[in-house]
Structure 1
Amino acid sequence: MTNVIHDRRAPEGTERFSKRHDFDADGQDDFDAAHELFADLRARCPVAHSNDMEGFWMLTRYEDIDQAMSDPTLYSTAVQNVVPRVATTGRRPPLHLDPPEHTPYRKAIAPLFRKERMRHWDKVVREISDRLFQDLPAKGKADICADFSYHLPIHVLAEFFMISEEDAMRIRSIGQAFNLALQTKDFSEIQKHSLVLYEIAQAIIDDRKKTPRDPGSDPASALLAARDAEGNPLPDQGILGTIRQLLVVGIIAPTTFLGSAAVHFCRHPEHFQLLKDTPERTADITEELLRLYTPYRGFARTPTRDVEIGGEKICRDEPIALCFTSANRDEAVFECPHEFRLDREDSRPAIAFGRGPHRCAGEPIGRLMIEAALESWAKYCDGFISDGPTPMTTWPEYGPVSVPVRFR
């Protein structure tokens, strides 16, 4: 297995082949701008092309995205897995591989999220969430992202990898720098910080080789104990890439999504009251918020041959962004898609954690973090009032990176 991702950017000094330009992807959005753009594209140009970020296609309709995720032989994730292209330092299974090559990595980590294991995490994550949030309302104001939602996944990460708080804080610091480089599209900085994360991942693996732990609860030990279809150990570079992927994959999305949820509650205090009054509906509220504010707009696939989608010809190896954020507000699937409704009878489930062979393996703990956060909010305060601007993340995520609030 190679540890190099071939960079197909056009050489400096050459002109990229210019396609039609249906929308601008670059630039900072306000909170609603992305949804306004996607609604416009669904209506006039559901299979759209942008010349930004090296050029890419984007699918905005639910059905098109669902079909692309369901056929890994035609739509590969091994060439480019997000828009913009940021992975240049190595393959990071299972996301960067197609079946069947990705399958042993999925099988190795899947038991870490089984129902029995999640019963353990249920208590741990809720205790972390309460500890991080309970003292904030007394201060009168806070930044929901900077003071809470950015810390929550880091503390969960430390427990998940069985690493020290000090090491977790180091990952947080590097992750913050990595995210800043991603926002500014500073690819040299992205690569620099990514390599440091590889060093941290290697240190975790080296420790587990010396002192193995229970493969049913420790990610590195699970990967070291795993075997492929022929009974061989997984290659060292594949294990390294998987640990590197797991270290940061769950940091940005929970931060931005919980920021979006806080903005929603600022705008709709009646929905926060509903959260307080009906704690038994927290899971339903989580699901509807995930549909409305899905934090992924740039997961990518690359066709292995020329394809036609919605009347548009897309050539082999041209990147396609699967815009979950748009799919979950598709008028053809969801009635009154921009409204928060808990009485939905839509026949199709929202695409929040993906679909098919690359559905997010960590979905159970991701949902748990969100539900725990909402429960902490409802337990310790009466709601939020917006107290400043909410700057947004850029591709491939969607959501605010800062949500200043005053507490009701």
Structure 2
Amino acid sequence: MYARLRGSGPVARSGGYGGFWALTRHADVAAAAADPVTFISSVRAVVPSDPRGLRRPPLNYDAPAHTPYRRALDRTLQRARIARLEPRLREHAARELTPLVERGGGDVAQEFGARFPAWVTTEWLNLDPELAPELAGTAARWVRAWRALDREVVDETSERMYGIARDLVRDRRERPRPVAEDPASSLLAERPDGRPLAEEHIVGALRQCLVVGLVAPPILLGSICVHLSRHRELQSELRARPELLPAALEELLRLYAPYRGFARTVSKEIELHGRRIAPGEPVTLVYASANRDEAVFPDPDTFVMGRPNIAAHLAFGRGRHACAGMPLARLSMRIALEELLRRTSAIEVSGPVESARMPELGAVSVPLRLRPA
């Protein structure tokens, strides 16, 4: 469908979810993502939206309001800190993978794919380790309810995550940590225009952090495992040459970006490819389509190790709202795949694969048979 739209309707209109536009060509998606003046995030940032219509920084903010939140989070995601997290993340991955390996299989997306990212978030935010299992379960229930627009369960699970965020802010006010090591402390230390950020917005930013790192990884890992199951030669190559994993992961990110795309609205009426878009109308930037645009990536539906222009993929977005956690996401996914391949001799899909609904794209349930190494 996306290929047809790129060819004949690159600015498409859907009546679903209240109506929205979809940009499907790489050039248009990349240009819109890099133009935060025309394509703003403060009205709609995703389709479908949270059924309660809440706006949390930094995703739902435009500059300059967006900037201090993003600066505070970026401060805690520098290369040196990410490197220090690697040994602990590897321990968590090995432990959470063990039950699947010992049983000879399981649902890699719903089990390992949900639990390991909860530990990644716990380590990054310096949460109490006892919260990790609860966080994994709560976030999974929240995202299922959000996809189904189940307001009651969304409210219940979201409030629990807000409670975790409030407790975190309360603790860091009393016992602050180094700002380069702790997102809550970093947010509390920000002083735009000489004034601290509002506590409700700090809590909202941390609440968003509790979710963003738990929605995409299970889908990405599930989709990658489906691909590896279908391409046994790639499994063998990556087991024999694990140094190829970073390059392989970039191509897999291009193919299986777990979000169809985020949304914007325009600040003024624009015309694009003969279509007029008015302010207030959601415009989705379809990263999943852009990443398979044949005008940018020859043979776009095929895995090609070492594509010379792989850095052009948009799996993490682009511009001011590009994913802040991309270095942590790359590290954690590499660790997950290294551990999975190291401890198995074969990965095989063993049952029906369940696909995600809007706005995600990929596999949310992937039963695997794992042959031990």
Question: Fold-level match, TM-score > 0.5?
Answer: yes
Distance 1:94 1:372 in 2: 28
Q: Which residue matches 2:104? A: 140
Q: Which residue matches 2:250? A: 287
Q: Which residue matches 2:95? A: 131
**Structure with higher helix content:** 2
2:196 paired with 1:258: no
Bigger mean CA offset, 84-93 vs 45-54: 84-93
Check conservation: 2:114, 2:140, Cα contact below 8 A.
no
Deviation at 1:348, TM superposition (A): 5.8
Deviation at 1:40, TM superposition (A): 2.2
Check conservation: 1:84, 1:298, Cα contact below 8 A.
no
Return the TM-score normalized by structure 2.
0.96
Q: Which blocks of at least 5 consecutive residues in structure 2 are unaligned? A: none
2:175 alignment partner, one of 200, 211, 218: 211
**Inter-CA distance 175–348: structure 2 relative to 1 (3 Å threshold):** closer
Q: What does the per-residue CA deviation read over 1:258-295, in whole Å, with 9 as the maximum and x for residues that have no partner?
A: 00000001110111111111111110010000000011
- The amino acid that maps onto 2:201 is G
Deviation at 1:159, TM superposition (A): 1.6
Q: Which residue matches 1:323? A: 286
2:203 paired with 1:240: yes
Q: Which residue matches 1:391? A: 354
1:370 alignment partner, one of 315, 327, 333: 333
Q: What does the per-residue CA deviation read over 1:231-264, in whole Å, with 9 as the maximum and x for residues that have no partner?
A: 2111112211111111111101001000000000
Deviation at 1:44, TM superposition (A): 2.2
Q: How does 1:62-81 map to 2 (within 5 A)?
A: 62-81=26-45
**Inter-CA distance 87–250: structure 2 relative to 1 (3 Å threshold):** farther
Deviation at 1:207, TM superposition (A): 1.3
Secondary structure, counterpart of 1:401 in structure 2: strand
Check conservation: 2:24, 2:290, Cα contact below 8 A.
yes
1:169 alignment partner, one of 108, 117, 133: 133
Deviation at 1:297, TM superposition (A): 0.8
Q: What does the per-residue CA deviation read over 1:358-380, in whole Å, with 9 as the maximum and x for residues that have no partner?
A: 11111100001110011011110
Distance 1:382 1:311 in 2: 53
Deviation at 1:43, TM superposition (A): 2.2
Return the TM-score normalized by structure 1.
0.88
Distance 2:151 2:20 in 1: 18
2:303 paired with 1:340: yes
2:13 paired with 1:49: yes
Check conservation: 2:260, 2:359, Cα contact below 8 A.
yes
Check conservation: 1:294, 1:325, Cα contact below 8 A.
yes
Secondary structure, counterpart of 2:279 in structure 1: coil
Check conservation: 2:251, 2:310, Cα contact below 8 A.
no
- The amino acid that maps onto 1:316 is P
Deviation at 1:135, TM superposition (A): 4.6
Q: What does the per-residue CA deviation read over 1:44-70, in whole Å, with 9 as the maximum and x for residues that have no partner?
A: 211111101111111111011001111
Bigger mean CA offset, 41-50 vs 339-348: 339-348
Q: How does 1:73-112 map to 2 (within 5 A)?
A: 73-86=37-50, 88=52, 90-112=54-76
Q: Which residue matches 1:178? A: 142
Q: Which residue matches 2:154? A: 190
Check conservation: 1:198, 1:241, Cα contact below 8 A.
yes
**Inter-CA distance 284–304: structure 2 relative to 1 (3 Å threshold):** same
> Percent sequence identity over matched residues?
40
Distance 2:314 2:5 in 1: 18
**Inter-CA distance 256–321: structure 2 relative to 1 (3 Å threshold):** same
**Inter-CA distance 282–348: structure 2 relative to 1 (3 Å threshold):** closer
Secondary structure, counterpart of 1:113 in structure 2: coil
Distance 2:340 2:156 in 1: 37
Check conservation: 2:248, 2:306, Cα contact below 8 A.
no
Distance 1:351 1:61 in 2: 11
- The amino acid that maps onto 1:72 is P
Check conservation: 2:85, 2:123, Cα contact below 8 A.
no
Check conservation: 1:89, 1:191, Cα contact below 8 A.
no
Q: Which blocks of at least 5 consecutive residues in structure 1 are unaligned? A: 1-36
Check conservation: 1:134, 1:376, Cα contact below 8 A.
no
Distance 2:134 2:370 in 1: 30
Distance 1:67 1:286 in 2: 25
